[in-house]
Amino acid sequence: MSAEQLLSSVPESDTVIVADLEAGIGTLTRLPEASVDSTLVIVEPTPRSIDVGQRAVLVATERKQGHITIVANKVATHEDEERIRTAFGEHPVVTVPLDPVVVAADRQGASPVDVDPNALAISAIGGLVPVLIETTDT
Protein backbone atom coordinates (compact mmCIF):
# COMPACT_ATOMS: atom_id res chain seq x y z
CA MET A 1 0.00 0.00 0.00
CA SER A 2 1.49 3.36 -1.00
CA ALA A 3 1.75 6.39 1.25
CA GLU A 4 -0.97 8.09 -0.83
CA GLN A 5 -3.37 5.13 -0.59
CA LEU A 6 -2.70 4.77 3.11
CA LEU A 7 -3.18 8.42 4.03
CA SER A 8 -6.37 8.75 2.04
CA SER A 9 -7.86 5.57 3.50
CA VAL A 10 -7.06 5.99 7.20
CA PRO A 11 -10.34 6.21 9.08
CA GLU A 12 -11.12 9.51 10.83
CA SER A 13 -10.56 9.22 14.58
CA ASP A 14 -9.26 11.11 17.58
CA THR A 15 -5.78 9.81 16.84
CA VAL A 16 -3.33 12.40 15.55
CA ILE A 17 -1.42 11.18 12.51
CA VAL A 18 1.75 13.06 11.68
CA ALA A 19 2.84 12.03 8.16
CA ASP A 20 6.39 12.93 7.19
CA LEU A 21 6.08 12.98 3.39
CA GLU A 22 8.93 12.53 0.91
CA ALA A 23 11.20 15.50 0.25
CA GLY A 24 9.83 17.82 -2.43
CA ILE A 25 6.19 17.75 -3.48
CA GLY A 26 5.94 14.31 -5.14
CA THR A 27 3.63 12.64 -2.61
CA LEU A 28 1.55 15.79 -2.32
CA THR A 29 0.88 15.83 -6.07
CA ARG A 30 -0.26 12.19 -5.97
CA LEU A 31 -2.34 12.44 -2.79
CA PRO A 32 -6.09 12.20 -3.51
CA GLU A 33 -8.06 15.39 -2.82
CA ALA A 34 -8.85 16.21 0.82
CA SER A 35 -6.80 13.31 2.23
CA VAL A 36 -5.55 15.29 5.24
CA ASP A 37 -6.93 17.88 7.63
CA SER A 38 -3.84 20.02 7.76
CA THR A 39 -0.68 20.61 5.73
CA LEU A 40 2.47 21.88 7.38
CA VAL A 41 4.94 23.39 4.92
CA ILE A 42 8.46 23.46 6.36
CA VAL A 43 10.62 26.20 4.90
CA GLU A 44 14.16 27.27 5.72
CA PRO A 45 15.26 30.76 4.70
CA THR A 46 16.91 29.80 1.40
CA PRO A 47 15.60 30.58 -2.11
CA ARG A 48 15.27 26.89 -3.11
CA SER A 49 13.46 25.94 0.08
CA ILE A 50 11.08 28.88 -0.30
CA ASP A 51 10.47 27.91 -3.94
CA VAL A 52 9.60 24.30 -3.02
CA GLY A 53 7.41 25.61 -0.18
CA GLN A 54 5.48 27.91 -2.52
CA ARG A 55 4.87 25.05 -4.93
CA ALA A 56 3.69 22.88 -2.02
CA VAL A 57 1.22 25.59 -0.98
CA LEU A 58 -0.18 25.77 -4.51
CA VAL A 59 -0.66 22.01 -4.75
CA ALA A 60 -2.10 21.68 -1.22
CA THR A 61 -4.54 24.52 -1.92
CA GLU A 62 -5.60 23.15 -5.30
CA ARG A 63 -6.10 19.67 -3.87
CA LYS A 64 -7.85 20.86 -0.72
CA GLN A 65 -5.38 19.32 1.73
CA GLY A 66 -6.79 21.10 4.77
CA HIS A 67 -5.55 24.15 6.60
CA ILE A 68 -2.07 25.26 5.49
CA THR A 69 0.49 26.46 8.04
CA ILE A 70 4.00 27.58 7.13
CA VAL A 71 6.81 26.66 9.51
CA ALA A 72 9.70 29.10 9.12
CA ASN A 73 12.45 26.76 10.27
CA LYS A 74 16.12 27.41 11.16
CA VAL A 75 15.45 31.11 11.48
CA ALA A 76 18.56 32.97 12.72
CA THR A 77 17.73 36.63 12.05
CA HIS A 78 14.79 38.97 11.71
CA GLU A 79 15.58 39.15 7.98
CA ASP A 80 15.26 35.34 7.70
CA GLU A 81 11.80 35.49 9.20
CA GLU A 82 10.70 38.44 7.07
CA ARG A 83 11.90 36.75 3.86
CA ILE A 84 9.65 33.78 4.59
CA ARG A 85 6.65 35.84 5.77
CA THR A 86 6.86 37.97 2.63
CA ALA A 87 7.06 34.90 0.38
CA PHE A 88 3.91 33.32 1.85
CA GLY A 89 1.61 36.32 2.05
CA GLU A 90 -1.60 35.61 3.89
CA HIS A 91 -0.71 32.15 5.19
CA PRO A 92 -0.03 31.83 8.92
CA VAL A 93 3.68 31.46 9.71
CA VAL A 94 5.06 29.81 12.86
CA THR A 95 8.74 30.54 13.46
CA VAL A 96 11.20 27.93 14.74
CA PRO A 97 14.64 29.30 15.61
CA LEU A 98 17.91 27.82 14.42
CA ASP A 99 18.83 25.75 17.47
CA PRO A 100 22.10 23.95 18.24
CA VAL A 101 20.11 21.29 20.12
CA VAL A 102 18.45 20.18 16.87
CA VAL A 103 21.83 20.09 15.13
CA ALA A 104 23.33 18.06 17.99
CA ALA A 105 20.38 15.63 17.97
CA ASP A 106 20.78 15.12 14.24
CA ARG A 107 24.45 14.25 14.69
CA GLN A 108 23.65 11.84 17.52
CA GLY A 109 20.75 10.18 15.68
CA ALA A 110 18.55 11.15 18.62
CA SER A 111 15.33 13.04 19.15
CA PRO A 112 15.84 16.72 19.98
CA VAL A 113 13.25 16.18 22.73
CA ASP A 114 15.60 13.72 24.43
CA VAL A 115 18.67 15.92 24.00
CA ASP A 116 17.10 18.98 25.65
CA PRO A 117 13.33 19.16 26.15
CA ASN A 118 13.63 22.84 27.08
CA ALA A 119 15.35 23.90 23.85
CA LEU A 120 13.88 26.92 22.07
CA ALA A 121 13.09 24.96 18.90
CA ILE A 122 11.20 22.32 20.90
CA SER A 123 9.04 24.98 22.56
CA ALA A 124 8.35 26.62 19.19
CA ILE A 125 7.34 23.32 17.56
CA GLY A 126 5.23 22.45 20.62
CA GLY A 127 3.44 25.74 20.02
CA LEU A 128 2.05 24.23 16.83
CA VAL A 129 -0.14 21.82 18.83
CA PRO A 130 -2.82 24.36 19.88
CA VAL A 131 -2.59 26.08 16.48
CA LEU A 132 -3.29 22.84 14.63
CA ILE A 133 -6.09 21.83 17.00
CA GLU A 134 -7.71 25.23 16.64
CA THR A 135 -7.53 25.34 12.86
CA THR A 136 -8.57 21.76 12.19
CA ASP A 137 -12.17 20.65 12.14
CA THR A 138 -12.19 17.39 14.05
Partner 1 sequence: MKIAVVGKGGSGKTSVSGVLARSFARSGHNVIGLDCDTNPNLGLSLGVGDLETERLLSLRDQIDEGEQQHAHTWDDILDAYGTDAPDGVRLTVVNRIDNPEPD
- Note the residues at the interface with partner 1 (CB under 8 A): 1-3, 6-7, 9-11, 14-28, 31, 35-44, 48-49, 52-53, 56, 60, 65-66, 71, 73-74, 96, 102, 105-106, 109-114, 121-122, 125-126, 128-129, 132-133, 136, 138
CA 99 to chain CA mean position, Å: 17
The torsion angles phi and psi of 119, rounded to 5 degrees, stand at: -65, 150
- SS3 at position 29: helix
> Residue 81: is it exposed, middle or buried by C-beta count within 10 angstroms (0-12/13-18/19+)?
middle
- Taking the complex as a whole, the smallest distance from the CB of residue 46 to partner 1 amounts, in Å, to 8
Dihedral through CA 81, CA 27, CA 101, CA 92, nearest 10? 30
C-beta of 60: minimal distance to partner 1 in Å?
7
What is the smallest separation between the CB atom of 24 and partner 1, expressed in angstroms?
Answer: 4
Q: Are 133 and 37 in contact (CB under 8 A)?
A: no
Residue 46 is given by DSSP the state S
**Minimum gap (Å) between residue 78 Cβ and partner 1:** 19
